[in-house]
């Protein structure tokens, strides 16, 4: 039998806690590799992401073992759309406010507006360079962790004639890839009683973070409250993500979106 997969990314969703207690939230691959201790080999070369994008996921999720294929390190491996700055990876600090929809899902209008502004910049740059089908899902995808944020972003895009742009949750984006990916983190609100850390919900799952950060080929733009929420979340992956962006000088203020 040959099994291929990545236990560091999302398995099938199990909503029953009773089923989870019986271990049914673990995939067959997870059980074979870690539960049964079967011998396995890591396919350690990635052929999707520019090296600047793959750097943090490799360090955080794969112990630095993820290597870059010859295609992604080639100077010819680049997008025909240039936006914000020449860096393949950028994290934009947004001092937003999270809200909760009637459905119970979270949304953040400040982040939603920032995301839409990025899409407008991508559209304008594409028109200037005569780039066709710039808004197709192969070219551009917006990913977020909450269905409430999916709706908020779509509601802002539609009146601008941008309703065709793909907006999806992380869970529905596994296995997908796009030239440019914008990730909206949403959470920045209430603190938990323990040590004053911020509640982050779905963001507490490393597998979701891994999926979100590894969908982009040429440009990854993260949007969130890095300084005030993610850094202070108490979640090592989230704080590590922010520290990494700061060390690499890739954490930018929202002023970058004022570029006309």
CATH number (domain holding residue 209) = 3.40.50.300
Q: What is the pLDDT of residue 190?
A: 61
Pairing relationship of beta strands 166-169 and 140-144 according to DSSP bridges:
parallel
Q: Is residue 35 part of a domain?
A: no
What does the alpha-carbon distance between residue 135 and residue 160 come to, in Å, rounded to a whole number?
13
Q: Domain total for the chain?
A: 1
Q: Which residues pair with 140 in a beta bridge?
A: 180
Enumerate residues 6+ apart whose C-beta is below 8 A from 158: none
Q: How far apart are the first and last CA of the chain?
A: 56
Residues with Cβ < 8 Å from 186, sequence gap 6 or more? 98, 106, 107, 108, 111, 144, 145, 146, 148, 149, 224
Average pLDDT, consecutive stretches of 10 residues, N- to C-terminus, the chain (260 residues): 66 73 72 67 86 96 92 92 90 93 92 97 91 91 96 97 96 92 89 62 90 96 94 93 96 84
Domain residues for the domain of 164 are: 78-258
Nearest to 87, CA basis, from 253, 245, 254, 259: 245
**Residue 16 lies inside a defined structural domain of this protein:** no
Q: In 132-235, where does DSSP find H-type helix?
A: 147-157, 206-213
42 located within any domain? no
Could you tell me the pTM of the whole model? 0.90
The verdict on residue 20 lying in a domain is no
Q: With respect to residue 1, please indicate whether it lies within any of the assigned structural domains.
A: no
User: How much is the pLDDT for 44?
Assistant: 83
Residue 188 is assigned to a structural domain of this protein? yes
225 part of a folded domain: yes
* Helices vs. strands in the chain: H and E counts, helices first: 8, 10
């Amino acid at each position: 039998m040959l099994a291929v997969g990545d236990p560091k990314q999302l398995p099938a969703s199990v909503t029953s806690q009773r089923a989870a207690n019986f271990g049914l939230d673990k995939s067959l691959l997870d059980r074979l590799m870690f539960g049964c201790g079967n011998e396995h080999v890591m396919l350690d070369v990635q052929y999707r992401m520019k090296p600047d994008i793959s750097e943090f996921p490799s360090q955080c999720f794969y112990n630095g073992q993820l290597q870059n294929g010859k295609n992604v390190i080639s100077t010819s491996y680049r997008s025909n759309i240039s936006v914000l700055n020449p860096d393949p990876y950028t994290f934009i600090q947004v001092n937003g406010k999270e809200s909760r929809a009637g459905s119970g899902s979270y949304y953040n209008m400040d982040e939603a507006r920032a995301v839409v502004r990025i899409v407008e910049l991508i559209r304008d740059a594409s028109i200037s360079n005569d780039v066709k089908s710039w808004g197709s899902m192969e070219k551009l995808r917006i990913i977020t962790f909450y269905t409430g944020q999916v709706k908020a972003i779509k509601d802002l895009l539609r009146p601008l004639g941008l309703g065709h742009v793909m907006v999806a949750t992380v869970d529905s984006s596994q296995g997908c890839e796009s030239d440019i990916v914008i990730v909206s983190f949403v959470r920045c609100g209430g603190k938990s009683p323990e040590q004053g850390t911020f509640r982050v919900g779905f963001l507490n799952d490393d597998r979701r973070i891994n999926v979100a950060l590894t969908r982009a080929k040429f440009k990854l733009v993260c949007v969130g409250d890095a300084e005030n929420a993610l850094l202070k979340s108490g979640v090592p992956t989230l704080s590590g993500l922010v520290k990494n962006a700061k060390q690499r000088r890739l954490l930018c203020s929202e002023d970058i979106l004022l570029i006309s």
